Amino acid sequence: MIPLILVTNDDGVHSHGITALQNAMAEVGDVYVVAPDRERSAVGHALTLHRPLKAEELRDRVFSVNGTPTDCVALGIHKILPRKPDLIASGINKGSNLGDDITYSGTVSAAMEGTLLGVSSFAISMAGDKPFMFDSALPFAKRIAGYILQKKLQSDILLNINVPNIPLDQIKGVSFTRQGKRVYDNAIQELLSPSGEQYYWIGGGKPVWGQSEANDIQAVMNGYVSVTPLHLDLTSYSSIEDLRNSWQD
């Protein structure tokens, strides 16, 4: 049977990144696109509860939803696709989803939602700035999709892929990594409006990355495609015992 693939993102249904991913996934299976009607980057795992959602079919099997990436995955799986998909591909995001930043990411959250709903999922992002070389990511997106469909992932695992934003022939290969650490430095800019009012702008500074060990950040900086397996279980297992041992009754 031909695999059924749901493609979504957080940059919106009109982003070139999602069109590139749609075309790549079309070589692997039957593709439906269900994506936000506008950019919803950094909405995390938000779900829309307090207003109605609409899904508009823009073209054959391409749906625009006035909601978040997580809304799109839920609607796609439960209402729009003809059956439960075999794979969810989220991206290709304009910008990296590395280290601690993945906790804000709509791109990664869409893959998390897929995993929660029992569908193998991956998120894929271009690590770098405009102009984005989505073509460099396509062979890796196809390979990852093929791998997941063939080998399957553990039920609570999703893959977070970051592709260096460089020409394909300069990419050195694939590196399997752990999630890195972002060092927050000047993350909030304090500015004055023309009328003299103070205001704040989050995310104005350049990220500073921790360099302590081999991780997703170092992999892309060294020219490798980073593949980080993430799990939904956020429990710190070692801390359970620490807490028990140090708890004073």
Interacting residues with Mn ion (CB under 5 A) = 10-11, 41, 93
The closest residue (CB) to Mn ion is 41
Query: In the complex with Mn ion, which residue's Cβ is closer, 41 or 121?
Result: 41
Q: Least separation, in Å, of the C-beta of 18 and Mn ion?
A: 10
Q: Least separation, in Å, of the C-beta of 10 and Mn ion?
A: 4
Q: Least separation, in Å, of the C-beta of 107 and Mn ion?
A: 6
Burial (CB count <10 Å: 0-12, 13-18, 19+), residue 142: middle
The three-class DSSP label of residue 181 is coil
Burial (CB count <10 Å: 0-12, 13-18, 19+), residue 115: buried
Distance CA 77, CA 61 (A): 13
Query: In the complex with Mn ion, which residue's Cβ is closer, 11 or 86?
Result: 11
Q: Least separation, in Å, of the C-beta of 42 and Mn ion?
A: 7
Largest CA distance in the chain: 64
Query: In the complex with Mn ion, which residue's Cβ is closer, 120 or 125?
Result: 125
Query: In the complex with Mn ion, which residue's Cβ is closer, 86 or 97?
Result: 97
Residues in Cβ contact with 81 at an 8 Å cutoff, skipping those fewer than 6 apart:
4, 6, 32, 34
Which of 55, 10, 13, 54 minimizes the C-alpha distance to 33?
13
Q: Least separation, in Å, of the C-beta of 19 and Mn ion?
A: 14
Distance CA 44, CA 91 (A): 14
Query: In the complex with Mn ion, which residue's Cβ is closer, 29 or 40?
Result: 40
Q: Least separation, in Å, of the C-beta of 191 and Mn ion?
A: 24
Query: In the complex with Mn ion, which residue's Cβ is closer, 43 or 159?
Result: 43
